[in-house]
Amino acid sequence: VERARAECRPAQWITSLGHDPDLREAVVTEAVRSGRLALTHAQAIVPALAAPVDSFDAKVAESNLARLRALVGGIPSAREKLDRIRAAHAARDAAATADAKDLAAARVAEYLTAHA
């Protein structure tokens, strides 16, 4: 975990079926919506999320696709998440460097005043 965090790698989520089959579909759907699970993986866990193969209806499929796009549309990609994390780390590091420079300058000024 520490190595993955140091390398700014995103978490790799795994599933557990749990004990409540009624809650399973809602939790897996939310995991897909939040970008933690791929839809294909979720369909393997909760078959109700998969459309039946023998009854393909193009209008229903298009409607479902539009609904799915609306559900996952606001989820940033892993690359976007990493970029945000890296930017936050860079900002934090820049602030820490600025603080260290200010402290060093104050100490130098204090030393020069004391030894002048």
As a three-state string, the secondary structure of 4-41 is HHHCCCCCCCCCCCCCCHHHHHHHHHHHHHCCCCCHHH
How many other β-carbons are positioned within 10 Å of the β-carbon of residue 37? 21
Of the pLDDT bands very low, low, confident and very high (cuts 50, 70, 90), residue 76 is confident
pLDDT tens readout for residues 28-48: 888 888 888 888 878 877 777
- Whether 11 contacts 17, CB under 8 Å: no
Residue 109, pLDDT score: 94
Window from 11-25, 42-56, 62-76, 101-115 with minimum mean pLDDT: 42-56
Q: Indicate the pTM of the whole model.
A: 0.37
Is the pLDDT at 116 greater than 90? The verdict is no
Residue 57 phi, psi (nearest 5): -125, 115
